[in-house]
Structure 1
Amino acid sequence: MEAEAEAAGEEPDRRKVAALSAPALSAARLTLPGVMDAEGRVDETRLRMHIFKNGGVSPSERGLVWRFLFGMYPCSSTALERSLLQEQLFVRYRVMKRKWQQFLPSALQIYLNGTDAKLIEAVRYFDQRERRQQAQDESEEVRDRLAFLELQAQIVFERVTFDHEELREAIRIIDKDVPRTNRDLSYYQDEGLGNLLVLRDILITYAAFHPEVSYAQGMNDLCSRFLEVLNSEVDTFWSFSCYMEKFSRDFRADGLHRKIELEAALLKELDPPLYAHLVKDNMESFTFCHRWLLLGFQREFEHSDALRLFEILSCDHLELISQQVDRARYQERLAQEYRTEEDPESELQAFNTDFTFELFICAAILLDNRESLLRCQDDVQLIQFTTSLQGTLELNSTLKKAEHHFYNYCKRCAWDYMNGRCRTSKRKHEDFLAHLLNLFVLK
């Protein structure tokens, strides 16, 4: 029924506990113009451009879009191929989950201190739901097919072993963090509170089968975002896993440290005086931006806007633009008709392709609050400043400002040779700038 509601453009009631089996979305179609062909294949470039230029997609299509955007569904797959893939992913997740539950049966239920009466009640109807799912009737054909897939999955995961102490420690932290997930969201209201227990199972399964990453604080909020949108335990696990393949480093100290360094470097490019103020008196770490960058500004914007921003950041459209700009710089360097050794100033400005759009979002927020930041004299005041912004930012204006900074940075880095240092025609410069501008929403 939920798949039918989404296909009809309606918002399904997502407060019920997410089912272990994935919703039947494999054959659903996207209505985005020119994005999906007759057999269900998706043009990935068009999809990402649509997300960026339209500021996200409608809530009714978000669940299906995210399954493509984050890699659970290959964009090149047909609807028929996805229906087979859906069964395989379902069985594999079920086998993985069962494996850690058999390894640590004491971890089947969340550890609660006895004071969280609502969550204790949610545990009861969550357990009832689990028993109902195990008793579901399936056709003989489906049972045979799933049995074969399960045998395959058991072979795949047969040699996987767990470190008892490491997994227990991960579960201990997960059991502390899951109840702290934002329970004010409608998704976790009433019976939907049982979705916290679904979230717990997903996080434990991920930690068990990705020991090199395991679990780190903040993953519960990130994974919760996937669960709310996809409303499927299986699909959330695989989409979250695909996301973490790319961004798991952000949850390690070295990855976060690098991202903060990049933010500081970008601000130095955009506003040297503000950067100079923030790096004095031990404020150079930029740790006040930590949560913004780690969780994609989850608490700084109204919830629906935060989901939309996460979608926009994940479409990577502007990162593709930066690659095009860098290629244009390289081609122009090859075409230069002067000798750089005689004119060291003619070397083109370095273009930092590590400056992703989320860094420009962060910079836009900092520049928009420049005067308040200049009044901050220590780290404590900076933390107070960032806390005061929670839930107060307006997304559309922030996006416009961030894009403006990104466009100007791209233009400056790509065309610093226009100042009389290159013999390329002015018409060629203008044509490329028009092409560059067309890739942005700015007009």
Structure 2
Amino acid sequence: TKVADEKTCIQFSIRRPKLPSSETHPEEGVYKRLDVAAWLHHLNELGQVEEEYKLRKAIFFGGIDVSIRGEVWPFLLRYYSHESTSQEREALRAQKRKEYAEIQQKRLSMTPEEHRAFWRNVQFTVDKDVVRTDRSNQFFRGEDNPNVESMRRILLNYAVYNPAIGYSQGMSDLVAPILAEVLDESDTFWCFVGLMQNTIFVSSPRDEDMEKQLLYLRELLRLTHPRFYQHLVSLGEDGLQMLFCHRWLLLCFKREFPEAEALRIWEACWAHYQTDYFHLFICVAIVAIYGDDVIEQQLATDQMLLHFGNLAMHMNGELVLRKARSLLHQFRLLPRIPCSLHDLCKTCGTGMWDSGYIPAVECTGHHPGWESCPYGGTVEAPSPRPPREGKKGPKVPRDGFGFRR
């Protein structure tokens, strides 16, 4: 694709990059896709999930076989707890089915005035979106498809259930794959509720959460890809807004990769293995693999947006996942992290840092209204204490991860 004006002609190319073995996670390739046998191995006689951390690790590296997604996804989306028994889950489903029916009844019982406002603020947009969402998928194909109507009810009912969020364009893109795997309308609704409540990388343009995501992403790029970061800085505020990645975050990469690869990325993020922010490492991986042209040709903000837009459906999802896992591994080896990324670790569960090791926090010096760093960061980094490694692996981070104030 070429973008031309009177003075310039810029060439965008779709490259077929490869990832050297030196840039892969040391445990890459160890884990196979979670199949029926492996899944059943994690369930005890009562149906409770055992060794949850190992399960999440297996999903993070290998993904889930399509045949059991409908059974496993409700756990990842926290509809079911890992401690629940099969019997308890059936009781929960029955209870939640009643609650779902009550939510729907509340929507159907609106006064004429309430319904007019609801139609104007929610239903008009939902009705437009559902008929054009995933129509190439056999599950939603054809006229008068009942699954499309089921998706519509889920989205309308969610807007009643959570009026503070209501409906934003793109939510149908998130519900559709869940419905196609989980199948049951009520179960899908509650899985979607779990997705919206517990998955950080779902946000909307009116969310302050988006700005927080962009702040973390800028800092990660500063650490991992300083040349690209400096290019963004040279473009000023427009460049630092990183418009090219807004769609990645809002639609969870669904428009960037074929569905099979996009859902693998979803599963890796939902696994919450060693970080709740793996989606940001996915963003950095895309930039690291496919962003060289941006730097080499010094692309402006609008050209950068076009460059990454043209890459949609032409990127290698598995390659991006491998690179992102490697970036996370290197991040964990840092002897210190900037205080601007302190919260990136704050919400992480078991296993973010090996053997209780937590890296030192170094202050970036940007805290208006604070006399000292609110995260306890020091201006000068203390002597680094290397992380304890249980297995052979790189002891120092690769170039690009040593950061300075």
Could you state the TM-score of these two structures normalised by the residue count of structure 1? 0.65
**1:45 counterpart residue number:** 53
Distance 1:404 1:57, change over 3 A: same
Gaps of 5+ in 2: 1-35, 337-356, 361-380, 395-405
In the TM superposition, what whole-angstrom CA distance separates every residue of 1:377-409 from its partner, at most 9, and x where no partner exists? 322212211221111121222111112122112
**1:350 counterpart residue number:** none
Of residues 129, 138, 159, the one that matches 1:177 is: 129
Residues 407 and 437 in structure 1, CA contact (< 8 A), matched pair in contact too: no
In the TM superposition, what whole-angstrom CA distance separates every residue of 1:222-273 from its partner, at most 9, and x where no partner exists? 1112111111211110000011112487223311122122111111111212
* Count of residue pairs brought into register by the alignment: 312
In the TM superposition, what whole-angstrom CA distance separates every residue of 1:132-158 from its partner, at most 9, and x where no partner exists? xxxxxxxxxxxxxxxxxxxxxxxxxxx
Of residues 299, 303, 325, the one that matches 1:381 is: 303
Q: Distance in 1 between matches of 2:275 and 2:178?
A: 22
Residues 179 and 188 in structure 2, CA contact (< 8 A), matched pair in contact too: yes
Distance 1:182 1:423, change over 3 A: closer
Q: Which amino acid aligns with 1:294?
A: L
Instruction: Please report how far the alpha carbon of residue 297 of structure 1 lies from its aligned counterpart in structure 2 after TM superposition.
Output: 1.0
Q: Secondary structure at the match of 2:228?
A: helix
Of residues 394, 404, 416, the one that matches 2:326 is: 404
Give yes or no for the alignment of 1:367 onto 2:288: yes
**1:289 counterpart residue number:** 245
Give yes or no for the alignment of 1:279 onto 2:286: no
Residues 261 and 285 in structure 1, CA contact (< 8 A), matched pair in contact too: no
Aligned-residue CA RMSD (Å) = 2.8
Residues 61 and 268 in structure 2, CA contact (< 8 A), matched pair in contact too: no
Q: Which moved more, 1:93-102 or 1:190-199?
A: 190-199
**1:218 counterpart residue number:** 170
Q: Distance in 1 between matches of 2:37 and 2:153?
A: 30
Report which of the two structures shows the higher radius of gyration computed on alpha carbons: 1
Give yes or no for the alignment of 1:309 onto 2:262: no
**1:19 counterpart residue number:** none
Q: Which moved more, 1:248-257 or 1:356-365?
A: 248-257
Q: Distance in 2 between matches of 1:436 and 1:211?
A: 51
Give yes or no for the alignment of 1:237 onto 2:158: no
Of residues 379, 383, 391, the one that matches 2:313 is: 391
Residues 30 and 36 in structure 1, CA contact (< 8 A), matched pair in contact too: no
Q: Distance in 2 between matches of 1:435 and 1:278?
A: 37
Q: Secondary structure at the match of 2:117?
A: helix
Residues 250 and 294 in structure 1, CA contact (< 8 A), matched pair in contact too: yes
**1:261 counterpart residue number:** 215
Q: Distance in 2 between matches of 1:59 and 1:387?
A: 28
Could you state the TM-score of these two structures normalised by the residue count of structure 2? 0.70
The structure with the greater share of residues assigned to helix is 1
In the TM superposition, what whole-angstrom CA distance separates every residue of 1:318-366 from its partner, at most 9, and x where no partner exists? 317xxxxxxxxxxxxxxxxxxxxxxxxxxxxxxxxxxx21111111111
Q: Which amino acid aligns with 2:259?
A: H
Q: Distance in 1 between matches of 2:284 and 2:144?
A: 37
Q: Which amino acid aligns with 1:361?
A: I
Q: Which moved more, 1:198-207 or 1:225-234?
A: 225-234
Q: Which amino acid aligns with 2:193?
A: S
Residues 80 and 89 in structure 2, CA contact (< 8 A), matched pair in contact too: yes
Q: Distance in 1 between matches of 2:129 and 2:393?
A: 44
Gaps of 5+ in 1: 1-28, 107-161, 321-355, 439-443
Q: Which amino acid aligns with 1:305?
A: E
Q: Secondary structure at the match of 1:313?
A: helix
Residues 199 and 270 in structure 2, CA contact (< 8 A), matched pair in contact too: no
